[in-house]
Structure 1
């Protein structure tokens, strides 16, 4: 059902994007729907596989972290500085407004982590109030929470009407979402969820991305300086997730070298992809 819901969302987004091919909102909805479907696609193998080795899980998460880190640099920060320089007439001013957005994005995730009960796959409980919520759904909610700024990044990427920013960013987030969807679904299977429920719950976390995309476009389309600031905000949020959430998780089980190779591989792939698509 979750996959069907995401498929319907993608169809609506693509139709809307086709009907308004020149509008940032239509493009952002289409891009975020593709990213959401990537999460669902990643969850599908959990229908047949109950668990994956901890080493491969860390490598896959590391690869996704590398993709996100490269996307933050090449698809958010650098275009943001260029856009800010064009709007403000000064490269230092452009860099400053992106830097301010980056700090705000990281602070937003910091406050969200402190305010919302959450878990990471296999890492135990974090945050206040965890006894009121089921363990597994805390983890699912945490993943959905982190998908929201990824959707915002897609929205901001298309808000300026420049596909050379939005398309590589969408590709990066979709690539990162595939292993994330698999890891979440397999984690749900290990705590006695049926294959369909595990894959469906993991797929549903992708619904946060179209919501984030709508917010990203809405917040940065009306006032020009908000566009580079929004790119910085999205970069700060993504870098926070990579550094605070993903890398510590991949280094927790003794697979630091394999995970780091995954990070480097993801960074290189995204760097080449951004060059090809940008």
Structure 2
């Protein structure tokens, strides 16, 4: 397969900050695309969404190792695993404490009547009790988008463009089913389908784009931070996979579908990592 790295550099240039900015835009746009699928795929089944979320988890799982942990140890720590492992621990602790500070509802695929089928007299904008869980869930998803943007920025800030581009594409690809699932959560709670599809893209961009730039800036300015930053982003991603995505796919009876989705995601990411570099 022809490498996409050289065309990317030709279009974007070699400045890691600009590369990080563009990378943040790419993953945010793909999140918007996933969220907008509810406009054409109006009622995705729980089975399909569990499989799609499993796929997203598999992509993130492989990317955390191939594009962050392994390069952090082998290329930027001289084979010393300690800085990257410290970063992993810090990333896990950060997400764990953030989850404690921002309690949220698990509201991905099931919930109340869909907005476009609900009785107008009981629609969600007038029902604060139904709105609260989905607001908390959206806040949680926004929080969990942070390591994705950071990981892309750190990837480009490292100067290893051959790892950074596949990482960007992998996170962008997994953002599609994630964006769809979060839109379904919002619609199940009663939010308007078209409004939330647009809002999801704005929400994702607001958090992922500046964090991608911040990640690129931090590691470009302070190179010794690179293995710690790569470990931090990987640890945060692994926490999201284990604490949120996989448990969410195992509560409706479609565990096998979700597991096969994870395996497919790992395979796709490994293929991207090898073929696009």
Give the 3-state SS of the residue equivalent to 1:252 in structure 2: coil
Pairwise CA distance, 1:119: 2.6
In 2: Cα distance, 1:85 partner to 1:103 partner: 16
In 1: Cα distance, 2:58 partner to 2:76 partner: 26
In 2: Cα distance, 1:31 partner to 1:122 partner: 27
Unpaired segments ≥5 residues, structure 2: 1-8, 111-127
What are the Cα deviations for residues 98-134 of structure 1, in whole angstroms up to 9, with x where unaligned? 111011111110010001132333489xxxxx98x82
Matches within 5 A, 1:52-63: 52-63=44-55
Give the 3-state SS of the residue equivalent to 1:85 in structure 2: coil
In 2: Cα distance, 1:29 partner to 1:56 partner: 32
Paired residues, what number?
251
Contact conserved, 1:51 with 1:190, CA < 8 A, in 2? no
Two-structure CA RMSD over aligned residues (Å): 2.2
Structure of greater relative contact order (alpha carbons < 8 Å, 6+ residues apart)? 2
Contact conserved, 2:46 with 2:109, CA < 8 A, in 1? no
Matches within 5 A, 1:126-275: 134-207=132-205, 208-275=207-274
Q: What corresponds to 2:66 in structure 1? A: 74
Please state if 1:110 is matched with 2:108: no
Give the 3-state SS of the residue equivalent to 1:118 in structure 2: coil
Which TM-score applies when normalising by structure 1?
A: 0.84
What are the Cα deviations for residues 64-90 of structure 1, in whole angstroms up to 9, with x where unaligned? 00000000010111111122334xxxx
Contact conserved, 1:39 with 1:202, CA < 8 A, in 2? yes
Give the 3-state SS of the residue equivalent to 2:171 in structure 1: helix
In 1: Cα distance, 2:19 partner to 2:106 partner: 31
Could you say if the C-alpha distance between residues 47 and 58 of structure 1 is closer, same or farther in structure 2, counting changes exceeding 3 Å? same
In 2: Cα distance, 1:218 partner to 1:114 partner: 29
Give the 3-state SS of the residue equivalent to 2:105 in structure 1: strand
In 2: Cα distance, 1:137 partner to 1:50 partner: 21
Contact conserved, 1:118 with 1:142, CA < 8 A, in 2? yes
Could you say if the C-alpha distance between residues 204 and 117 of structure 1 is closer, same or farther in structure 2, counting changes exceeding 3 Å? farther
Contact conserved, 2:107 with 2:133, CA < 8 A, in 1? no
Contact conserved, 1:39 with 1:177, CA < 8 A, in 2? yes
Unpaired segments ≥5 residues, structure 1: 1-16, 125-129
